[in-house]
Structures are given as structure tokens and as C-alpha cells.
Amino acid sequence: MTTYLEEYKRKLITADKAAKMVESGDFVEYGMFATKPIEFDIALGKRVGELEKVAVRGTGTVLPIPEVIKNDPEQKSFQYFSWYFTALDRKACDFGLAVHCPFNYHEATMLAYNPDFSGSWADVWCAQVSPMDSAGCFNFGLGNSHNRGIALNSRVAIVEVNPNMPRCLGGSDEYIHIDEIDYIIEANNPIFTIPSMPEANDAETKIANYIMEEIHDGSCLQLGIGAMPNLIGNLIADSDLKDLGIQSEMFCDSMVKMYEKGRITNSRKNKDKFKSTYSFSMGSQETYNFLHDNPRCASMAVYDTNLPAAVAVNDNVVSINNILEIDLFSQVCSESFGLRQISGTGGQLDFVEGAFHSKGGKSFLAFSSTFKDKDGKMHSRIKPMLSPGAIVTVPRTVVQYVVSEYGMVSLKSKSIWGRAEALINIAHPDFRDDLLKAAREMKIWSRTNHIPF
């Protein structure tokens, strides 16, 4: 340990000095989600006007607002990019201050380690980590994701040590050794937490109850980001289900409740038996406390949690994710309102494919049938065709179960006509006639549509 402490002291520098490692034209990669650096970002943000054409990229940006955005609204020095949009990224994008980078989440690890893509990754990498352990390792805490691969392939690797970062046991790729990094910054900032989810409305409760009927003892769960998956997790906690497993990109608050109620054992998993596997976490401080040094949970590189083939190794996978809209061809958009980027593909497609290929597995794409615009006018989320500019997140060939408050349908093996009819049947009643008329005009409806395929 003495050797590591000496090396630690040699590599320890101020945030301002670390920020000086960035050169004009560099690509800077920030740690994912709650591992986004704070002190390093503050120091880098001071260099507006000194640097030119520096690209800074994050993944699921959380508060505080990056200084490289806030201090440089005219983008004299920095352009900010994000692999997965949060509310903060969306707002920045509205002002032209952030740009989305599309990808399937499991591919992040592959890209990070692939030398053919080294030019796409970081010249300088910095992420928050937990304090060094006796083996000389820093843990990536709440944002394993693809941090390690980028760090190892960057020109300069910097860790921002934060004693408030939980140590999340692995897994895979959950650490970086002091020999593998160039510089160390010390900080003591609070870790980002998500505010409590709002109470579920009637539509969300109906959707959750439909899906609950499809979850059985021994199911292996993936819960996506948002209120609906968290609601279902809470319902599971209050159910009598047993021996459930977890393989999910995100570890969320409701999973702690499931553990406390004895629903999760991971005993029926074929892979990573007796462990809940995940790649990042965003939630409450209670959830972070639960994950800290918890050997029942395994932090993993996103490749290991999200690769469809890795998902399918486990039996009875149940994948639950939100969507924004679906058209009568059954193309799904989960990431944009027209041209406005809302989130990203993330791992949704990964788990839709992986769950279907799991023995006994099912994927559910959930949505309330309508939404209201800023003027209070109601619109259907089921549309004849996707809104202009809307991004196809899940192709029609991959969609399995689709759920609204008006029912649940499986679209696998259905014809174009069958898909249109099934979707119209779970649309809000006020929009069904218009959807039927549109289907006829689009020639995806005929008098034979009563045939059940």
C-alpha cells in the first residue's frame, strides 16, 4: 500500500492543472451519468477563449450544468455532445448548445475497446470515482457503463476522487488501477440524486396491471428509465412473486424495495446467478447506500448487461420500457418528439431483442394512449405514420408486446393489416375512427381484417 500511496501523491494535481492538459482540437470524454466530473469541468470551463474547437461529450448529463456549456453560450471554445439525452441535455439542445450522438448502448463498450474507433474517443477522459482501495484501484461507482474502455484508450486519463461515490462491486470493468491513470483530482461534492417519481395516474396504473399479469416467479427483469418501469417495480415489491432476477442497464429505486420485500434472489438466473447485474444507477441516496459494497449486486460494463445475446442467456426475461409514439406500421419512436431529441435509443432495442430471444422471455413497450400539448389539446400516441422527423427506435420487425391503458397486444407474426387492427384496438376511443380511415387510405386495412393475423 505504501507504493500506491507514493504513486497517488505523485499523480495528485489541482483541477486547474488537470484542465491544462486539454489542447485545442481535443475530444474530452466525461464520465457517464452521476460520474460526470465536477471540479475538472469547472476548471475546464474557465478556459473559454483560450481553447478552440474542443468537443466535450457526456452520457446522460446530470446536474450541475456543465460549465463548458454555461460559460460558453457562444461556443467560442467548446461544443457539447451527449450519448443519451436527459432533461438537461434536451434544454441545452433547444438552445443549440448540445448535440446527440446516436448508438445502441451495448455497442459503447465495443467501440471503446476497438482501436479502429480510437479517433472517435477521448484525447482526455475524466470521471468521478470512489477513493482508492488497498489494491490501488478506483471504482467507477454509479457509472460503470463504458468508462474503463475509454479511459484506457485516451491520451490522458484523469480520475476525480469523491468520497461520496459508492463503491459498486463487480462484475466487469468496474475499476481502473492507479497504474492505468495519469492524474488524480480530489473533490468532495454531493452525488446527483433523482427526485421522487410523481404518483401514477389511472392510465399508468392500468398499463402496469396488464404487464403484472405477465410476470411470474423466476422472471428476470429489466426495468427501463422512467415512471412506468419504476411503478411496476413497486407493484412487484408489494406482490407475492418470488425468486425474481435482475439484469438491467439501470439499477433503480424500486429494485431496493423488491429486495427488502424478498422478491429478488437471482436464484433462477443462468448467468450471474445470485447477483443483480446492472451498468449504472440513478436514484435516491437510499439506493446508493444499498449498492455500496453490496456483493449481491454486480456492476458491469454495458456490453455484459445489454448485449442481446447476453440478455437471452437467462430464461423468462421480462423487459419493460416506455415509448413516445407508434405508427400503424408498428414502427416505434421512443426518443424524439418530431425533430426534438428527447432521450436516445439507449438500451431499449438491446433488451427488446434480448428478451424475445430469451426462453419464455417477453418485451413490453408501454405508453399512455394520448398526451396533451401546451394548449391542452389531446393527441393520440398511435398515429397513421410517425410524426415528421420522429426517430425509429425499435423497428417494426422487432416489436413484441405493446401496451396502452386500453389493452395489450403482441405484434409478432402479425401481417401489416393485423398490426394496424391490433393497434387501433388499443388506441383511445376518440381516435379510432380517424385511425381506421387512415389505415384504409394507406391500404393497410381491408374487409378481411377480422382474420386474427
From the list 67, 249, 335, 405, the catalytic residue is 249
**What's the average model confidence in pLDDT over 253-269?**
97
Query: How does residue 446 score in pLDDT terms, banded at 50, 70 and 90?
Result: confident
Whether the predicted pLDDT of 229 surpasses 70: yes
Do 8 and 83 belong to one domain? Answer: yes
Q: Is the pLDDT of residue 196 over 90?
A: no
pLDDT at 197: 75
Q: Is residue 192 part of a domain?
A: no
Neighbouring-strand partners of residue 365: 321, 402
Query: pLDDT, tens digit, for every residue of 94-112?
Result: 999 999 999 999 999 998 9
pLDDT of residue 227: 82
What's the confidence (pLDDT) of residue 38? Answer: 98
Whether residues 401 and 369 fall in one domain = yes
Confidence of residue 180 (pLDDT cuts 50, 70, 90): very high
- Classify residue 195: in a domain, yes or no: no
Q: Which of these three, 162, 186, 210, is where a domain ends?
A: 186
Residue 161 has pLDDT above 70, yes or no: yes
Does 160 map to a domain? Answer: yes
Name 189's Cβ contacts closer than 8 Å, sequence gap at least 6: 38, 39, 162, 164
Q: Where are the alpha helices (DSSP H) in 300-415?
A: 302-306, 308-312, 348-357
The CATH number linked to 31 is: 3.40.1080.10
pLDDT higher than threshold 80 for residue 2: no
pLDDT recorded at residue 115: 77
Same-domain status, 164 and 276: no
Tell me the per-residue pLDDT of 385-425, one tens digit each, with 9 for 90 and over: 999 999 999 999 999 999 999 999 999 999 999 999 999 99
pLDDT confidence tier of residue 130, bands split at 50, 70 and 90 = very high
pLDDT of residue 121: 75
Is residue 249 flagged as an active site residue?
A: yes
Residues 24 and 168 in one domain: yes
Mean pLDDT within 195-207: 87
Same domain, 224 and 88: no
> Are the C-beta atoms of residues 388 and 345 closer than 8 Å to each other?
no
Pick from 109, 108, 125: which is nearest to 160 by CA? Answer: 125
Mean predicted confidence (pLDDT) in 419-446: 95
Lowest mean pLDDT among 117-121, 346-350, 367-371: 117-121
Percentage of the chain modeled with pLDDT above 70:
97
pLDDT band at 328 (very low <50, low <70, confident <90, very high): very high
Claim to verify: residue 214 and residue 168 sit in the same structural domain:
no
Q: Does 353 share its domain with 291?
A: yes
Residues 159 and 240 in one domain: no
Domain extent, residue 163, equals 2-186
What is the end-to-end Cα distance of the chain in Å, rounded?
A: 67
Residues 243 and 390 in one domain: yes
User: CATH code at 419?
Assistant: 3.40.1080.20
Q: Do 50 and 114 share a domain, yes or no?
A: yes
Per-residue pLDDT, averaged over 149-153, amounts to 94
**pLDDT at residue 122 greater than cutoff 80:** yes
283 domain residue, yes or no: yes
Q: Which helix (H) or strand (E) holds 203?
A: helix 202-212
pLDDT at 374: 92
Residue 1 confidence (pLDDT) above 80: no
In a domain, 431, yes or no: yes
Average pLDDT value for the chain = 95
State the Cα–Cα distance between residues 41 and 67, nearest whole angstrom. 6
| Pair type for strands 340-341 and 336-337 | antiparallel
Whether residues 121 and 219 share a domain: the answer is: no
Q: How confident is the model at residue 118 (pLDDT cuts 50, 70, 90)?
A: low
Instruction: Tally the domains of the chain.
Output: 2
Q: What's the distance, CA 284 to chain centroid?
A: 16
pLDDT one-digit tens code per residue, 75-87: 999 999 999 999 9
Average pLDDT over residues 373-377: 94
CA dihedral (233, 390, 202, 433) positive or negative? negative
Burial of residue 405 (CB within 10 Å: 0-12, 13-18, 19+) is buried
Q: What is the pLDDT of residues 14-52, one digit of tens each?
A: 999 999 999 999 999 999 999 999 999 999 999 999 999
DSSP E strands in 275-337: the ranges are 276-278, 280-281, 297-299, 317-322, 325-327, 332-333, 336-337
In the predicted model, is pLDDT for residue 221 greater than 80?
yes
Do 155 and 228 sit in the same domain of this protein?
A: no
Query: Are the C-beta atoms of 370 and 382 separated by less than 8 Å?
Result: no
Contact call for residues 428 and 406 (beta carbons, < 8 A): yes
